[in-house]
Amino acid sequence: MFDLKGHTALVTGAGQNIGAGIAKALAAQNAAVIVNDYHLERAESVARDLLESGARALAVQGDVTDLESVRRMVNEAQTSVGPIDILVNNAGNAGAGAFVPIRFRDMPIEGWDQFLKVNLYGVLNCVKAVLDPMCERHWGRIITISSEGYRTGTSMGISLYAAGKAGAVGFSKQLSSEVGRFGVTVNCLVLGTMNTFPQAAQQTRSYPIPRPGTPEDIGAAAVFLASEEASWITGQAISVNGGVVTA
């Protein structure tokens, strides 16, 4: 069950944290994994761990906000490993820079792009680069990592981040209706507070499951959506959040 042997997965932003957890989970189920990161040394570190565990893996540098960069890394991956039939759009937050929450009234217009480019256009670019071959082969899985921040209000100063995440979910739902007949499923994982957040333990004390999420939690969910067993699930935004949001 959930065996991904014979499939090749591209995980963006996989040089650390959640992306690395997803890459390791897919590799554990026998997928060949393309480990992407903006910082090549981080991608190489994760890929090296996978190779040492006996998995097939390749590190590729690429900027998901740049379509030509995405096309180059996809071509490199396909030449070296094989056609990509599982895409996990994990790269997000504020892109390659630090995530500094800032309220919309205080944010200069020039600050919008760092959130919208990676959280929305990064998804569009990666999907564009891999979708046609998936449809031609009549098999594909597109999984986009989103956040409960897009549908729950907060005063933290993440409005542009939430806008990008919401856009990616809306895009995924519409795309699922276009490509389902070609054997390609499109889903989102909507995350609650993760243990990569500095105050995560304190913030999740009131969760029904009172702990922050882990990369392993998200990796397991991604494995399921990537599997043959999930072939009748598409167009969904599935919460992985410890029960904090149930609607």
CATH code for the domain in which residue 187 is found: 3.40.50.720
Count of CB atoms situated within 10 Å of the CB of 221: 22
Query: Residue 247's pLDDT is what?
Result: 62
pLDDT tens per residue across span 138-169 = 999 999 999 998 887 777 888 999 999 999 99
**Averaged over 74-92, what is the pLDDT?**
96
The reply to whether 233 falls in a domain is yes
- CA distance linking residue 119 with residue 127, whole number of Å: 13
Query: Residue 99's pLDDT is what?
Result: 78
The reply to whether 21 falls in a domain is yes
Domain that holds residue 95: 8-240
Burial 34-57 (b: 16+ CB within 10 A, else e): bbbbbeeebbbbbbebbeeeebbb
The reply to whether 3 falls in a domain is no
DSSP-assigned states of every residue in 71-126:
HHHHHHHHHHT----EEEE---TTTTS------GGGS-GGGSHHHHIIIIIHHHHH
Work out the angle at residue 173's Cα, subtended by the Cα atoms of residues 133 and 29, and round it to the nearest 5 degrees. Answer: 55
Query: Residue 104's pLDDT is what?
Result: 92
Please, which residues have CB within 8 angstroms of residue 202's CB and are 6 or more apart in sequence?
none
pLDDT tens per residue across span 90-136 = 999 866 667 788 999 999 999 999 999 999 999 999 999 999 999 99
Q: Can you read off the two tokens belonging to residue 174?
A: 């519409």
The reply to whether 245 falls in a domain is no
- CA distance linking residue 223 with residue 23, whole number of Å: 10
Count how many domains the chain has.
1
> Using an 8 Å Cβ cutoff, are 170 and 120 in contact?
no
Query: Residue 161's pLDDT is what?
Result: 93
H or E element in which residue 131 lies: helix 122-137
Q: Can you read off the two tokens belonging to residue 30?
A: 């026998």
The reply to whether 247 falls in a domain is no
The reply to whether 246 falls in a domain is no
So which residues are the catalytic ones?
161
Query: Residue 13's pLDDT is what?
Result: 97
The reply to whether 82 falls in a domain is yes
The reply to whether 2 falls in a domain is no
Count of CB atoms situated within 10 Å of the CB of 75: 12
Handedness of CA 61, 140, 132, 180 (dihedral sign): negative
- CA distance linking residue 217 with residue 19, whole number of Å: 12
